[in-house]
């Protein structure tokens, strides 16, 4: 595969974006131009147009672009004093705004054909060098990303050095669509969302619930092994609690309106932390019992603007795999190391091996003293270094209450997802007086760490579905074995086998449909069931099993025992 970044590809795509802008200018003489940069997988350009663009417009624009490319006109480059540039872009308010912000006396201009743009470049030598391109979609985008400013129309497109690479890219997009968890969630009967119930609220069907149960069980066992304890807290609490935690002050926009109970306001929890703190504060805590690691699959509800909701990955009710660690300052580093190790282990178990680790430091608005921030940031840094974990610093991206480490993971298609996060919190211990009695008999402030390993079960499962393309490894597959009798006379044999497999702990289904074997195989394939057992006369006669894996691999004449062994191996390896 060809390198997807690098100056040449950037120049190519940027040039394509100018060629597109020229086509827009030809089609809409009054068009005003925003910006047209390259992005990770292509380019876009923002326009202010007299009417909305349609899908048909894209075809017309592509045709114009093809003509410009065929003409093979040069990209000309020169610089101008700002004053002259202002005259040149007199009818272009967005360009004038950009111009006003440029510090230099002379500005850089590019022209190809009839289109002249304020642009740093670089570009390819001539339009003919842009061969493989495609316009993909139209979307609204605020000028400069500011929702108070005009909304422009953005056209997304992509371009590659060769037609083959463009085709490969389009094939990847098609593959992503095929793996879309919303589509697979319906086809595999994992979950649904209902207009009747409200947007962003997930209903788990038996098969999806089973996968979730398996993940949750694994999660709980792994946490218990590592010295975590499980807690449960109520879903609603009095407004006073959220007042004290500061959520009503800082997080109000994401919280639902109160409900009145016996004249008191109650709120649905958007976070689990205050609940865990109440448990902590139910009695005095000694330095000897720290660290306390309290974990909960805690369901929270947050208001999200309607436009951002998306399948399982952006919802209004979700279950965080949450935990809070209460510890002494001298324990923080070891705790952070433990969290990172746990995160890495869990993610690897689900088949994720590529991570990007980000250390987010103090933002402009923050609580706590500079000194605590520095110490805590240094601790996080040391923890990462102790693990030999490469990381990047994301300056100023910490939460107002403390620094954090975010892990981004890459799925099978190389797309990145927000994964585990570990945050140090200076705010809540202050607000709630989260203390312990030290060796000296005096009260000391505890350090509090919020952390999640999967993020939320909803989002993680959305990610998992796409990562596996719905073909869950054996340990997570809702149905592990489909028994396929070839004719009705093989049904009894199939049922007897099914009973023995269930006894061995496998999740099996006998296909008793009145359809042909081919149809039954197709159905099991579509349901992405890992094993199919094909049972006909010869199997019955020999008391054997013919196994078909969903990969298509065929293993005739196995005994029940050898099949169980095969399955056990896959289960143990979590394949």
Binding site for RNA (CB under 7 A): 52, 54, 137-142, 145-147, 151, 153-154, 182, 186, 193, 195, 198-200, 302, 304-311, 314-316, 318, 320, 418, 421, 452, 455-456, 458-459, 486-489, 513-519, 521-522, 525-526, 532, 534, 536-539, 546, 548, 550, 552, 554, 556
Q: What are the backbone dihedrals phi and psi of residue 378, each rounded to the nearest 5 degrees, phi first? A: -65, -40
Are the C-beta atoms of 238 and 262 separated by less than 8 Å? no
253 catalytic? Reply is: no
95 catalytic? Reply is: no
Q: Please report, for residues 38, 162, 393, 558, the alpha-carbon distance to residue 137 in angstroms, rounded to integers and kept in the order given.
A: 15, 21, 34, 52
Q: Where are the beta strands (DSSP E) in 275-385?
A: 292-301, 317-327, 355-360
Least Å from the CB of residue 518 to RNA = 4
Closer residue to RNA (CB): 110 or 460:
460
Least Å from the CB of residue 36 to RNA = 14
- Cα separation of 2 and 411, whole Å? 20
* Active-site entry in 223, 276, 324, 520: 324
Least Å from the CB of residue 55 to RNA = 8
Least Å from the CB of residue 74 to RNA = 32
Sign of CA dihedral 364, 367, 371, 372: negative
Q: Please report, for residues 447, 479, 489, 518, 527, the alpha-carbon distance to residue 515 in angstroms, rounded to integers and kept in the order given.
A: 63, 20, 13, 8, 16
* Active-site entry in 134, 404, 459, 550: 404
Angle subtended at Cα 23 by Cα 18 and Cα 26, rounded to the nearest 5 degrees: 125
* Active-site entry in 48, 92, 273, 490: 273
490 catalytic? Reply is: no
Closer residue to RNA (CB): 134 or 285:
134
Least Å from the CB of residue 221 to RNA = 21
Least Å from the CB of residue 135 to RNA = 12
**CB burial of residue 78 (10 Å; 0-12, 13-18, 19+):** exposed
Closer residue to RNA (CB): 14 or 316:
316
Least Å from the CB of residue 316 to RNA = 7
404 catalytic? Reply is: yes
Closer residue to RNA (CB): 378 or 487:
487
The tokens for 496 are 């007897």
Sign of CA dihedral 436, 442, 443, 449: negative
Cis peptide before 122 (omega within 30 of 0): yes
327 catalytic? Reply is: no
| b/e sequence 522-538, b meaning 16+ C-beta within 10 Å | ebbeebbbbbbbbbbee
In 3D, which of 175, 201, 450, 205 has the Cα closest to residue 314? 201
* Active-site entry in 25, 92, 153, 320: 320
Closer residue to RNA (CB): 57 or 85:
57
- Cα separation of 97 and 94, whole Å? 5
* Active-site entry in 322, 406, 411, 425: 322
Closer residue to RNA (CB): 71 or 487:
487
324 catalytic? Reply is: yes
Helical (H) or strand (E) element with 421 = strand 416-425
Structure-derived torsion over alpha carbons of residues 347, 353, 359, 365, reported in degrees to the nearest 10: -60
Closer residue to RNA (CB): 362 or 550:
550
Q: Which residues contact 61 (CB under 8 A, 6 or more apart)?
A: 20, 23, 24, 27, 135, 155
Structure-derived torsion over alpha carbons of residues 94, 96, 98, 102, reported in degrees to the nearest 10: 180
Least Å from the CB of residue 6 to RNA = 22
310 catalytic? Reply is: no
* Active-site entry in 302, 316, 362, 451: 302
Closer residue to RNA (CB): 140 or 438:
140
Active site residues: 273, 302, 320, 322, 324, 404, 450
């Amino acid at each position: 595969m060809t390198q997807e970044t690098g100056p040449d590809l950037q120049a190519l795509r940027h040039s394509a974006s100018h060629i597109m802008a020229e086509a827009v200018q030809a089609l809409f003489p009054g068009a005003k131009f925003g910006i047209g940069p390259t992005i990770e997988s292509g380019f876009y350009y923002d326009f202010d147009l007299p009417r909305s663009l349609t899908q048909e417009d894209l075809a017309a624009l592509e045709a114009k672009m093809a003509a410009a490319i065929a003409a093979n006109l040069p990209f000309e480059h020169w610089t101008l004093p700002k004053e002259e540039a202002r005259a040149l872009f007199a009818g272009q308010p967005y360009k004038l705004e950009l111009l006003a912000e440029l510090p230099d006396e002379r500005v850089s201009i590019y022209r190809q054909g009839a289109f002249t743009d304020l642009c740093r470049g670089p570009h390819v030598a001539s339009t003919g060098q842009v061969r493989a391109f495609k316009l993909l979609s139209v979307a609204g985008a605020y000028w400069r990303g500011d929702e108070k400013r005009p909304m422009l129309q953005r056209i997304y497109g992509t371009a590659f050095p060769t037609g083959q690479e463009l085709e490969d890219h389009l094939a990847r997009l098609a593959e992503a669509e095929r793996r879309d968890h919303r589509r697979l969630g319906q086809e595999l009967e994992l979950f649904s969302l209902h207009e009747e119930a409200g947007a962003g609220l997930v209903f788990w069907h038996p098969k999806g619930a089973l996968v979730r149960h398996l993940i949750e069980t694994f999660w709980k066992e792994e946490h218990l092994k590592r010295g975590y304890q499980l807690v449960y807290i109520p879903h609603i609490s009095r407004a006073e609690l959220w007042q004290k935690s500061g959520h009503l002050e800082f997080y109000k926009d994401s919280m639902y309106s109160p409900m009145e109970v016996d004249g008191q306001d109650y709120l649905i929890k958007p976070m689990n932390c205050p609940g865990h703190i109440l448990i902590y504060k139910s009695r005095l805590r000694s330095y000897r019992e720290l660290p306390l690691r309290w974990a909960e699959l805690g369901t929270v509800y947050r208001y999200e603007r309607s436009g951002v909701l998306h399948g399982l990955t952006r919802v209004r009710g979700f279950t965080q795999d949450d935990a809070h660690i209460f510890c002494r300052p001298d324990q923080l580093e070891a705790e952070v190391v433990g969290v990172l190790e746990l995160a890495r282990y869990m993610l690897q178990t689900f088949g994720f091996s590529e991570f990007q680790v980000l250390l987010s430091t103090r933002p402009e608005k923050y609580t706590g003293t500079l000194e605590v921030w520095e110490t805590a940031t240094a601790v996080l840094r040391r923890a990462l270094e102790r693990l030999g974990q490469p990381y990047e610093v994301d300056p100023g991206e910490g939460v107002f209450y403390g620094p954090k480490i975010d892990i981004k993971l890459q799925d099978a298609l190389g797309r990145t997802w927000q994964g585990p996060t570990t945050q140090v919190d200076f705010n809540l211990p202050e607000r709630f007086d989260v203390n312990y009695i030290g060796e000296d008999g005096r009260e000391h402030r505890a350090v509090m760490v919020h952390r999640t390993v999967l993020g939320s079960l909803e989002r993680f499962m959305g990610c998992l579905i796409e990562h596996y393309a719905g073909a869950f490894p054996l340990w997570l597959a809702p149905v592990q074995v489909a028994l396929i009798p070839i004719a009705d006379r093989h049904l009894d044999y199939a049922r007897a086998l099914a009973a023995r497999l269930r006894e061995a702990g496998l999740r099996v289904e006998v296909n008793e449909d009145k359809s042909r074997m081919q149809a039954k195989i197709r159905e099991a394939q579509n349901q992405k069931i890992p094993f199919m057992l094909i049972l006909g006369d010869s199997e019955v006669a020999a008391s054997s099993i013919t196994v078909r894996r969903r990969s298509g691999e065929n293993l005739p004449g196995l005994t029940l025992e050898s099949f169980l062994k095969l399955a056990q191996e896959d289960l143990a390896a979590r394949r």
